[in-house]
Structure 1
Amino acid sequence: MPRIELETIIKAEKNIVFDLSRSIDLHKISTKHTKEEAISGKTSGLIGLNESVTWRAKHLGFYQELTSKITEFEPPNYFADEMVNGVFKSFKHEHHFKQIQKGTLMTDIFTYVSPLGFLGHFADKLFLKSYMEKLLLKRNEIVKTFAETNKWKEIL
């Protein structure tokens, strides 16, 4: 099971970073390059416990739909979303937030199981894990930019 763990230091209050990380509207901005849109469930605002969203986006040349649900929620320290329906066999994305002297330490832990058995395992090694890590890094860059400037006020 591939695992991606990323740490991002953000010079902003933990509450702001937490809320930006669960913002459907900011997620749309961070995935503009994949033409991602929320098509059902919670389609704007802040997603919370037991709420789900279905995304439609173009990844690796194909349009795909994926539904994820917030399964764990401890504001403003932690939340997790898990795939309910989509191309992966499963995935879980944990979002951890810790107030530090410089601001907030945001830690993402993303674990997933690819479809197609051996072929999926091969795809992980060849390109998929790297592709997913780049998506998460892009998302974190946008969260950081909005949190460290007054742009967060446009979202929250």
Structure 2
Amino acid sequence: MQAYHLKFNQNIPISLSAAWDFFSSPLNLQKITPPEMAFKVTSGLKAEDKMYAGMIITYKVSPMLGIKMDWMTEITHVEHEQYFIDEQRFGPYQFWHHQHHFKEIPGGVEMNDILTYGMPVGIIGRAVNKIYVANKIQQIFNYRTKKVIELFGSI
């Protein structure tokens, strides 16, 4: 099984508590995901709901060609204003482990994402990752960076 590792870093000119409030609200993920992915939380969560270890979140997403897919993640770890981790329980990947880390820095917050994922179906999955998925994930995080700058500015 092949595991892929990606790291993303962004500095945001807001307080740690403001960053945590925004990014720990599952519904805000829709605000920073490319619109063409038609990303929608289907768990029936409210805006004031905050994540906790053990929380299950379900989504509809169209990662390619407008094909809608179900995706389910579990928030497995939460350390208030430091980090949280989501892992896929059902969805398009063989596995998905996404760490979100937050650290106060002069003038704001450093946000680090560490993503480890695997593709199903062996050699075919590896080929699909090379041809499409790795680039698509990079595009999603590039879009997220732009949206976070639009929402909060940059350092």
TM-score by length of 1: 0.86
Counterpart of 1:105 in structure 2 is: 110
Counterpart of 2:147 in structure 1 is: 142
Distance 1:2 1:100 in 2: 29
Q: Secondary structure at the match of 1:12?
A: coil
Counterpart of 1:114 in structure 2 is: 119
Counterpart of 2:21 in structure 1 is: 19
Identity of aligned residues (%): 22
Deviation for aligned residue 1:53: 0.8
Residues 23-44 of structure 1: CA deviation (Å, up to 9, x unaligned): 2222112233311111126464
Contact 2:101 2:111 in 1 (8 A): yes
Counterpart of 1:57 in structure 2 is: 61
Matched, 1:47 2:80: no
Gaps in structure 1 of 5+ consecutive residues: 150-156
Distance 2:20 2:148 in 1: 9
Contact 1:43 1:53 in 2 (8 A): no
Q: Secondary structure at the match of 1:59?
A: coil
> In structure 1, which of residues 30, 33, 36 is the aligned counterpart of residue 32 of structure 2?
30
Runs of 4+ in 1 over 6 A off after TM superposition: none
Deviation for aligned residue 1:91: 0.4
Counterpart of 1:153 in structure 2 is: none
Give, as a single letter, the amino acid of the residue that structure 2 aligns with 1:21. Answer: F
Contact 2:37 2:64 in 1 (8 A): no
Q: CA RMSD in A?
A: 1.8
Distance 1:144 1:22 in 2: 18
Deviation for aligned residue 1:136: 2.3
Counterpart of 1:8 in structure 2 is: 10
